[in-house]
Structure 1
Amino acid sequence: MSISDSRESVRMAFETLRSNKLRSGLTILGVVIGVATVITISSLINGVNNRVEALARSFGTNVFWCFRFPVIGVRPTTEMLARKQLTFDDAEAMRTLPHVVAVNPALQYANYDLNLGNVAVKYKGRKIQHTILEGDSPTVNITNDFDLIAGRMFNEADDFRRSNVTVLGYDAAKQLFDNENPINKEVEIDGDIFTVIGVLDKQKQLFGGGKNPQDNKAIFPLSTFRKIHPEQKDVWITVKYDDPKNASIVEEELRTLLRERRRVRVEKDDDFAIFSPDSITRLWGQITAGLVIFMFAVSSVGLMVGGVGVMNIMLVSVTERTREIGVRKAIGATRRKVLVQFTVEAIALCALGGVIGVILGALLTLAIRYGIDFPASMSAFWTVIAFIVSCGIGLVFGIYPAWKAANLDPIEALRYE
């Protein structure tokens, strides 16, 4: 079939649309809904995937976390909660491993069930509640990718002297000082006076809007934290290693070290957990697998309905144009040409539905992104796939009407009234 014939088929398809606007619109409605569903849901998944990856990167690069039980994607059991805690000696031993660059043992004082702090921070009559207190070693500058908007992090000297200094989270500093420079100002925390030496930038969170509890935080040198809260002994260890290609080696070395130090028998499972920022992305990947299945299920219904509608209108079109088909065959049109003509018409109908669906999906994505501040981002891959599938629906459901038109007897077709 020539290019001119193909253009003529497309033109006739749109003529059919124009002559039967309401019927044609209802026909491709299922395709529009199916494509728009794919675009919208894939945009939500893609947007949140990007946010999850950014969140994981914000926790640091080339790092492992060690704790007495897993905290990502697992609800701690009674056995996990009863495990003995990691120690500062464990952290010291980790520093001797060959690929380890830095180790940061940390402590926190917070309400873990609510993910909030238990302390109020005060400054000249202003107060912020539920502040999380955290103690870190000076190596936190290496292990954690903290961004400061003012001041500095504490150093070895601050830790050695157990200095009463603190670095505040973004929300804590904003609420206490507003537009005032917080550096070198004194705040009251747990009945003691501390000098503010730095302010952290806002921490990334999965969904926009609302307050992030991690922005309401006060960080101290580890020795200072142990001075004000000596009862806190649940050590969280962050290990920074040299190169991503050594990740599996470092993880195995950490596991071997901790099993030896904690005297775990060979036949027993680990009584500790080692995980990384990749654990977050893997957990989200498992969740999105279900969302992708849901997307296919919902969009398939719309596309199938659209396909049946296209078959219906094409059958009607074949009936209405029986005499025209007879004339074309009488003047030399082959079965192949008639078959291709009606197939192209069906594909053109569905392609139009696909284009409208893509536009509708894009508008919904923009509405979600800017209307409710949800991280939606269109995926070029799924946009192309949705459009190709919509055209494929036209091919699959248009082939029978096209076959029926191609096999009409020209004499009988010319007699048709």
Structure 2
Amino acid sequence: MLILESIKLAYQSIIGSKLRSFLTLLGIAIGLFSIIIVMTAISAIQQNIVDAFNEIGANNFFVQKYPAFQAGGPHARRQYRNRKDLTPYEGEKLREMTELPAAVGIVLNATGRVVRFRNEKTNPTVYVAGTNVDYFVALDLEMEDGRMYTNADVELSRPVAVLGHDVVDKLFKNINPVGQTIRVDKYEFEVIGTFAKRGTVLGQSQDNFVCIPLPVFQKYFGRERSASFLIMAPSKDLIQETMDEVIGALRLIRGIAPGEDNDFEIVTNDQLTEQFNELTKYFRLGAAVIAFIALIAAGVGIMNIMLVSVTERTKEIGIRKAVGAQKKNILTQFVIEAVALSWFGGLIGIVLGLIGGNIVALYLSVSLILPIDWIVIGLIITTIVGVVFGVYPAMKAANLDPIEALRYE
């Protein structure tokens, strides 16, 4: 009953001093809003990225020329650019020299291509990937219709293609694409299959692509580009051993002397997640600083409201003490009122932060999220603010002399 009564008195205090209460609650709301909106948006983006990384496979990793996230300024970028390109030949040698990998996928890509079928055409944004069969063994893409190309298609350089869902939607409104002929730039391909829809990452579609056999890609789109290798370990437990074997073999293939740094990058799901967290830590830090300043200001406001409330209710406190209320009862009542006041503002900030964060998530076409951990942290913070800044007014109320309080006008 004491808690409910104290919350009721806190509500009456807010209603009784609307402007002062509004400014105090606004400070708390801004503090919690700044934390929750940033954490909700980052959590939504992070979950979407993790889901996309998981599609690569928990026991897979990439070997590529550039790191997944480039940092370090122009000098570092120049250093990466000056590395020798990885080549399909090196990928084939890697397959021959290693025993642990279950698959060594090789991929070359060309971006910004136009795909045509009859009078229909895509925007110049299609990603064309030239791959071997192992690439799809490792990636485990789901087929929607038709088939994937085989080793025979690759070895015989057959001009066949498998389409991503966006290309199918754009070119084949009411036609089964399997068996049809498309053109990429000026080159013709027979469609032998289509992939199931994969969705988006950070608003970017994962379905706007065409896959063709690697030798065909090299013939039509050139060899002067860096390849990437998708390595599939036998199991997640053996991923580190597989990485070590691949690194050793590739260093030998590329003629890297002992003691020299690798001139290629190994990229895993865990590394990508860690790098994403590293990139977003400054947003979290900025939100924390804003929240700290706003909550300190709000805490001072709560103290001010509670001091005014003690003054306005001096006679009430005297009467309660005269009929037997102890110091701890008065102290508890005013601390609970301060916490309740803090919670009112905190809940407003949390709700607005959740709405704002998920609006950002919707704008980026990522999944909505409810960050329970940060909601709990937010409520704990508001409770601490209420207690810290409510103790002094509560102690002042608890220490009032009942005789002097009853005389107060």
TM score, norm. by length of structure 2: 0.90
Q: CA deviation at 1:365?
A: 4.2
Residue 126 of structure 1 corresponds to 120
Label 1:234 to 1:33 Cα distance change in 2 as closer, same or farther (>3 A).
closer
Q: CA deviation at 1:196?
A: 0.5
> Which has the larger displacement, 324-333 or 43-52?
324-333
Label 1:324 to 1:165 Cα distance change in 2 as closer, same or farther (>3 A).
same
Residue 81 of structure 1 corresponds to 81
Q: 1:244 aligned to 229, 236, 255, which one?
A: 236
Task: Name the CA distance, whole Å, in 2 between partners of 1:371 and 1:216.
Answer: 19
Label 1:305 to 1:77 Cα distance change in 2 as closer, same or farther (>3 A).
closer
Say whether 1:92 aligns with 2:92. yes
Paired residue secondary structure (2:176):
coil
> Which has the larger displacement, 99-108 or 124-133?
124-133
Q: CA deviation at 1:12?
A: 2.7
Q: 1:191 aligned to 168, 186, 189, which one?
A: 186
Residue 303 of structure 1 corresponds to 295
Taking the TM superposition and a 5 Å limit, the aligned residue runs for 1:9-408 are 9-74=6-71, 77-95=77-95, 96-108=97-109, 110=110, 116-117=111-112, 119-128=113-122, 129-208=124-203, 212=205, 215-232=207-224, 234-365=226-357, 367-370=359-362, 373=365, 375-408=367-400
Task: Name the CA distance, whole Å, in 2 between partners of 1:79 and 1:347.
Answer: 56
CA contact (8 A) 1:347 1:395 kept: yes
Task: Name the CA distance, whole Å, in 1 between partners of 2:183 and 2:2.
Answer: 82
CA contact (8 A) 1:103 1:237 kept: yes
Label 1:22 to 1:246 Cα distance change in 2 as closer, same or farther (>3 A).
same
Q: CA deviation at 1:101?
A: 0.3
Q: CA deviation at 1:373?
A: 4.6
CA contact (8 A) 2:68 2:272 kept: no
Query: Structure 1 vs Structure 2: percent identity of aligned residues?
Result: 34
Cα deviation per residue 1:261-287 (whole Å; 9 max; x = unaligned)? 222222211122221233321221112
Cα deviation per residue 1:264-314 (whole Å; 9 max; x = unaligned)? 222211122221233321221112222221221122222222211110010
Label 1:131 to 1:409 Cα distance change in 2 as closer, same or farther (>3 A).
closer
Q: CA deviation at 1:376?
A: 4.5
Q: CA deviation at 1:367?
A: 4.4
Label 1:266 to 1:291 Cα distance change in 2 as closer, same or farther (>3 A).
same
Label 1:341 to 1:282 Cα distance change in 2 as closer, same or farther (>3 A).
same
Q: Which runs of no fewer than 5 residues in structure 1 stay unpaired?
A: 111-115
CA contact (8 A) 2:200 2:366 kept: no
Give 1:344's aligned amino acid: I
Task: Name the CA distance, whole Å, in 1 between partners of 2:7 and 2:77.
Answer: 64
CA contact (8 A) 1:45 1:376 kept: no
Paired residue secondary structure (1:414):
helix
Task: Name the CA distance, whole Å, in 1 between partners of 2:362 and 2:155.
Answer: 48
Task: Name the CA distance, whole Å, in 2 between partners of 1:285 and 1:147.
Answer: 30
Residue 113 of structure 1 corresponds to none
Q: CA deviation at 1:368?
A: 4.3
Paired residue secondary structure (1:231):
coil
The number of aligned residues is 404
Label 1:218 to 1:12 Cα distance change in 2 as closer, same or farther (>3 A).
closer
> Which has the larger displacement, 245-254 or 66-75?
66-75
> Which has the larger displacement, 127-136 or 333-342?
127-136
CA contact (8 A) 1:107 1:234 kept: yes
Q: Which runs of no fewer than 5 residues in structure 2 stay unpaired?
A: none
> Which has the larger displacement, 47-56 or 217-226?
217-226
Paired residue secondary structure (2:392):
helix
Label 1:153 to 1:232 Cα distance change in 2 as closer, same or farther (>3 A).
farther
Q: CA deviation at 1:204?
A: 4.0
Q: CA deviation at 1:242?
A: 1.4
Task: Name the CA distance, whole Å, in 2 between partners of 1:250 and 1:338.
Answer: 67
Give 1:10's aligned amino acid: I
Label 1:45 to 1:120 Cα distance change in 2 as closer, same or farther (>3 A).
closer
Q: CA deviation at 1:146?
A: 2.0
CA contact (8 A) 2:44 2:361 kept: no
Task: Name the CA distance, whole Å, in 2 between partners of 1:200 and 1:314.
Answer: 64
Label 1:154 to 1:287 Cα distance change in 2 as closer, same or farther (>3 A).
same
> Which has the larger displacement, 282-291 or 130-139?
130-139
Task: Name the CA distance, whole Å, in 1 between partners of 2:3 and 2:119.
Answer: 78
> Which has the larger displacement, 149-158 or 85-94?
85-94
CA contact (8 A) 1:73 1:283 kept: no
Task: Name the CA distance, whole Å, in 1 between partners of 2:361 and 2:228.
Answer: 36
